[in-house]
Chains A and B, each alone.
Chain A
Amino acid sequence: MGHNEHHKESFITKYIFSQDHKMISKQFLVTAIFMAVIAMMMSVFFRLQLGFDGESFPILEKVFGKWAPDGVLDPGFYLALVTMHGTILVFSVLTGGLSGTFANLLIPLQCGARDMASGFLNMLSYWFFLIFNIFMIVSIFVEGGPASAGWTVYPPLSALPQAIPGSGTGMTLWLVGMAMFVVSALLAGLNYIVTIINLRTKGMSMSRLPLSIWALFLTAILGVLSFPVLLSAALLLIMDRSFGTSFYLSDIHIGGEALLHSGGSPVLYQHLFWFLGHPEVYIILLPALGIISEVIACNARKPIFGYKAMIGSMVMIGFLSFIVWGHHMFMTGMNPFLGSVFVATTLVVAVPSAVKVFNYLTTLWKGNIRFSPAMLFAIGTVSLFITGGVTGIILGDSALDINIHDTYFVVAHFHIVMGASAIFGMFAGVYHWFPKMYGRMMNNKLGYIHFWVTIICVYGVFFPMHFQGLAGVPRRYYSNSFFEMFDVFTEMNVWITVFATISSFVQFLFICNFFYSIFRGKKATENPWEANSLEWTTPVEHIHGNWPGKIPEVHRWAYDYSKPGKENDFVPQNVPLEEGERDGGH
């Protein structure tokens, strides 16, 4: 059966159980937006408590009922909100949402394939992802509340319902849901890898692939190698919780009784978790960097500077990400010598990261920059990547980590470098590829307002947190009132809450723009940004199989912008080389 045959589809096979990568990509995106709104509102609610300690907000009681008696959050439920905020954003939005949306959209289109290698597995990966999200939402409503042990769910806290109510049914749902997520990530990742390796069109050598595909390729490899370890960590925790084993538990006296568990180690869980957890950071970040590579080159009307160095640094980052996990655990009492090794590997990550930043900056140099909303978000990503990246050099240094481990400095660091930076990359991608996804344009003016308010708020929220951390304020505190030394930050906390609230309202502007444009936006042309890569050679109307006729052949790399001696300032990849012309990437 030829893929390019255009056959009639019912509503269900087209919109719900779709095996078409473009539809699956949209499904991932809309699911991620829905989950992001939930997680964002959670952050506003717990920020209310942090900014206005102990003050009553009737809306909290309205939303959370018994978890916010008299409009003040319950301390245990505060932790539940923090946990679910982290889990949803890290997994639903920035892993599933970001990779799922853009890998599905871009891999077949930019490689020149009719669809993913296996449309069926691709569909399954979305449905497992959806099950994970449903589990997360359901867990909010069960007895005892959702998981409350922090998004890293360290045992014994996560293993013992006596320790915190969220470690009851909520935690079980969290763990089973996470197993579903791992299945989704593996099905998706294998599919991405196979498609990129096998289904590139004629002429599309690996060294002609756009950087977005390289980023997604490496991301998929990281995911396939590290997610199984998370699965085993979760399974062992399920065993400890429900079947009385002692992988992570030992020597515990809680709730007035000594537990029977003996011989396990909570530190083992941390090793297993962070063996995924650190690559996970790059699973989130690399797709964002890949997206902005495309957006920056296209809108600066310049080839990306140092294409091969960019690939090399991504490979380097990906490799190093597997041998740095211990930097999350310097204070667990692990052997200081082992700590030293992790310090060295961690700080070395700064080298390829610096190379990437310098290359982005040089790409802008002597460009002809078109400030579309996507470009603004891409520049925002670079800025956030710099700001959040440099503080990693402090955190990765074990001697300095002694005093800022688990403080607000960490919160500031990771929210900027992998939270905001990746979200900005995702926004850049949505604004840039919206015409390809929905065949219509988004409103630019609203995009500008969205960008400017968001970036100001992001820095308004997270920049001051560095200072709190350096003053020793621990993260995951319901209130700082028990320590007089933190009173100086009362006013700062109010400001942070104000910025967080404004920024969350502005996201609704984006959502309005997004859904409005799907139905009423101006019809897009085939190649609205005058870009080079293959996805812009497909018709605006989506068809199964992507190209109506033959798949175009590729003759050059994706970055022939402003090439001297050309009529236009862009030369699409399917335009043959002229006689004597050299392919730019070589």
Chain B
Amino acid sequence: MDTLIYFVVFLGLIAAWQIIRSYELSEELRGNDREEVTERDNRLNSVLIFVGMIGFMGMFFYELATYGKYLLPEASSEHGPQIDQLFNVTFILISIVFVLCHLVLGWFAFKYFRKKGYQATYYTHNNRLEIIWTAIPTVVLFCLIGYGLTVWNDVMYAQEEQEGAQRIEVYGKQFQWLARYPGNDETLGAASYKFINGTNAMGLDTNDVNANDDIITSELHMVVDKPVHMTFRSQDIIHSAYMPHFRVQMNCVPGMVTQFGFTPNKTTQQMREEMNNENFDYVVICNKICGAAHYTMKMIVKVESQEEYDEWLGQQPVFYADDTNTSKDELIVQKGTIENSSL
């Protein structure tokens, strides 16, 4: 069977060779020079470029109309609309440049194809023109830089101003996300990769009092309109916690703690109604290649009212509750139910 396939491929190649050869010979007989760029070629290609450019611009607007509705819904965080507006401004600007340049390119190619007896204009430079089209992009870009950096600083330094923000740690490992809540003391306990074992998935330091009431979950819950100060860690490989609906992303780097502060402002329920989709859920997506099952790494995110949040958090097991008489070992075993799964 295989031999047959190779044989067919081989025959196909010979056939292709012969077809080109006979085509060339017939062209030669007809007196056409196939290597010469003929007048017909010039006219045909210039028309094709013009039509192609129009078609391309048409495709651009068509895709904008068709796929535009697939884009992310309105941002569900306080800083999100700022980013979206910056995007819209930039997008409109570059669309104008994109369309104009292409129309000019298409028009010139169409208008100035080679004609007999026509001589091109000897035009080497024009300093005024060049200064103008250096200066205009420079000014526009400096405005964009200023605007972009304003938004960037607002977003990235937000956490420093947020008092009373909810602290949450997002933890990535092959191929699963975990979240850690600080518990009543509002302080996340110390943790180290050295303490990780089957019953201590995030390597919390059992000698640190602050770690005792920490709560580890496999879903991420946040309170609507309450600022979140999120820190990120990784157990093994670089992951990237990407929450597109909130316009939030930060890498989780082993050996480093990274952070992002933001305020979710739409509950999951609100989004479900808005999108007319009962099954909608916010997600954390892994957005940095982290291994074979990279594409499966996701965590469900719920944004809800304070009451719902408290109720949910109350049901989650505490890492090590020292106000009960349960032995430490038992509780750690209980924590082991958050499985240390890997694919």
Contact = CB atoms under 8 A, between A and B. Distances in A.
Nearest to B244: A472
Nearest to A529: B37
Interface string B54-83: 001001100100011011100000000011
A386 interface: yes
Nearest to B233: A251
Given A336-B157, A400-B83, A406-B287, A350 B122 contact: no
Interface in A242-266: 249-254, 258, 264-266
A177 to B, nearest CB: 20
Contacts of B248: 402
Contact of A376 (B34, B45, B256, B293): B45
Nearest to A251: B255
A418 to B, nearest CB: 17
Contact of B108 (A364, A443, A463, A479): A364
Contacts of B242: 405-406, 472, 474
A557 to B, nearest CB: 9
Given A75-B293, A368-B112, A369-B112, A350 B237 contact: no
Given A309-B130, A351-B138, 9 more contacts: A76-B291, A301-B120, A306-B126, A333-B256, A365-B121, A368-B119, A371-B42, A483-B298, A516-B21
Contact of A394 (B52, B90, B156, B238): B90
Interface in B272-328: 279, 283, 285-296, 298
Given A254-B236, A351-B134, A370 B148 contact: no
B148 A482 contact: no
A441 B155 CA distance: 58
Contacts of B253: 265-267, 332-333
Contact of B45 (A75, A371, A391, A512): A371
A489 B67 CA distance: 9
Given A383-B102, A467-B67, A467-B71, A406 B120 contact: no
A470 B90 CA distance: 14
Contacts of A157: 237-238, 289-291
Interface stretch (A134-142, A217-225, A559-567): A559-567
Interface string A390-404: 110110011110110
Interface string B159-203: 000000000000000100000000000000000111010000001
B8 interface: no
B243 to A, nearest CB: 9
A528 B35 CA distance: 10
18 contacts: A157-B238, A157-B290, A306-B125, A340-B149, A350-B141, A355-B130, A361-B108, A365-B112, A370-B114, A371-B49, A371-B114, A387-B102, A394-B91, A403-B247, A405-B249, A448-B45, A474-B285, A482-B295
Interface string A295-313: 0000011110111110000
Contacts of B16: 512
A119 interface: no
A150 interface: yes
Interface string A337-375: 001100110011011001101110110111111111000
Contact of A340 (B68, B112, B153, B203): B153
Contacts of A332: 251, 253, 258
B194 A366 contact: no
Contact of A452 (B37, B48, B236, B283): B48
A156 B295 contact: no
A394 B87 contact: yes
Contacts, number: 356
A492 interface: yes
B341 interface: no
A581 interface: no
Nearest to B252: A333
A366 B123 contact: yes
A369 B125 contact: no
- Which of B93, B157, B253: most chain A CB closer than 10 A? B253
Given A156-B254, A386-B102, A442 B35 contact: yes
B250 interface: yes
Contacts of B152: 336, 339-340, 343, 397-399
B137 A569 contact: no
B71 to A, nearest CB: 5
A350 B90 contact: no
- Which of B102, B114, B295: most chain A CB closer than 10 A? B295
A369 B109 contact: yes
A407 B72 CA distance: 13
B98 A390 contact: yes
A79 B87 contact: no
Contacts of A480: 295
Contact of B35 (A150, A443, A463): A443
B17 interface: yes
Contact of A347 (B83, B145, B294): B145
Contact of A254 (B42, B105, B235, B256): B235
Contacts of A448: 41, 45
Contact of B90 (A309, A393, A459): A393
Interface in B101-117: 101-102, 104-105, 108-109, 112-115
A339 B249 CA distance: 15
A371 B291 contact: no
A528 B41 CA distance: 17
A319 interface: no
B56 to A, nearest CB: 7
A510 B58 CA distance: 29
B256 A258 contact: no
- Which of B102, B244, B290: most chain A CB closer than 10 A? B244
Contact of A478 (B49, B72, B294): B294
A157 B175 CA distance: 13
A146 to B, nearest CB: 14
Contacts of A371: 37, 41-42, 45-46, 49, 113-114
Contacts of A300: 112, 120
B101 to A, nearest CB: 5
B86 interface: yes
Given A251-B192, A474-B285, A305 B124 contact: yes
Given A371-B45, A480-B295, A361 B63 contact: no
A397 B67 contact: no
A562 B122 contact: yes
A482 B102 CA distance: 38
Given A350-B137, A394-B91, A444 B237 contact: no
B88 to A, nearest CB: 10
B151 interface: yes
Contacts of B287: 405-407, 474
A149 B289 contact: yes
B94 interface: yes
A555 interface: no
B225 interface: no
Contact of A368 (B68, B115, B156, B259): B115
Interface in A382-440: 382-383, 386-387, 390-391, 393-394, 397-400, 402-403, 405-407
Contacts of A479: 295
A518 interface: no
B151 A399 contact: yes
Given A302-B123, A355-B134, A520-B21, A403 B196 contact: no
Contacts of B209: none
Contact of B122 (A252, A302, A464): A302
A516 B236 contact: no
A9 interface: no
B133 A354 contact: yes
Nearest to A357: B101
B250 A331 contact: yes
A53 to B, nearest CB: 10
A254 B235 CA distance: 7
